[in-house]
Structure 1
């Protein structure tokens, strides 16, 4: 084969390969285009499956059933915006209106409950004011507040406090014990049993006086332990023991005295006392 013929043969062979490659490339491009179209279609189907009107409505209903109204409302609004003409959008509008009405009714109930609570507080304060006794020290400018039901000649435990310039900030809640009998006990300490819990109030200073064959011994001290006081006021049974030099005297704290002390704590807090 001469050189010219060989060159021509090689050229034709190469030309033939080039045409085949182009054809294969074109075929592959067609396949890629087809696959891309199918992928796009699948993505559209997946999007419809994930965020189509039926699925959005179902998710909103699930959120409402779970008590998550905020998520339910967001989902319903999204459904209506995306698919305004769909039947699910109509259902979404109805459901959204129902949620809004429920929330309005709940808010109305909440406001009514707050109003009742405020009225109950007003009545309680009015009742409390009628139960308080106020004695003002004109020199010091302090008003001492106690309960009107506090006994005079009896065994009792009570609370009182002082108010100056409308606040108790400089005057802590105070606790009084009174022992009343016909013979001296010379009380040195107090032990209190509130249900199953015992509190020992040691080294208390008691003062004493007597008249007409009767004696009374009393103490007046700052409330140091509010947890103890709260336990006493909430207990079903409270026994107070006055421990004397040789003997002791027990008395069961009457419910009337516990009730009066509870009211005194409320009054103290009303004037700024911090429990």
Structure 2
């Protein structure tokens, strides 16, 4: 279903009124009298409980859940830089919800050094993208990748070109905050303390902030699992003992492999490092700042 258009047509909702969806909301128009054929500013009392109105409301709720699921799935593809079958992109492109999420994301095909913005899908099943030279090219590889921005060597050029094109991404990719691992961390180092010590008035409040940002709370930790270079790595930040309702502080940031082994910083991949630091920074940003001190 396409938001902002009138794909359903107008549905009869009692005597003298019709209803439809307009930009995700139920709208009504009169079919008689001076206002006949004109969309009304609000739903008349006579139709608010009509079965057709209730059906449209349920459809709207489903559409919102569907759009959220599309965003979450594409975000997973991008964060993990997973290869996505081109045929799948072509198939879901027919759905406006999928299309609005995928359009203008940076993709790469067989040539990993030739990124471009995905703009359309042709009738023959090819992907149309605009590269950094401003040229529209067609791709039909077996799979395409939506790279994590920390893996894009031309990230700054892509950001500048996106501004020229007026690109707005539904999934945060090229403007996603990124961190690069130091080139030579200490041999035995396993923890980053840059965002430790952020004070919060309530452990429950910090846990709520964690989940609102899309991260998971596991025991006393905020966690973020990332697939990096074919392996799953979990970043974690201490947020306080479970069920403790007093004040608490953020702890250091660490990474573990799939078996739970603590990783040395030298072993952490670029995406896992960036996403772990992004989580720690986002949690720390909500700390209590004493008056007179800089945030």
Structure 1 length as normaliser, TM-score?
0.25
Structure 2 length as normaliser, TM-score?
0.23
Bigger fraction of residues in helix? 1
User: Considering only CA atoms, is the larger Rg found in Structure 1 or Structure 2?
Assistant: 1
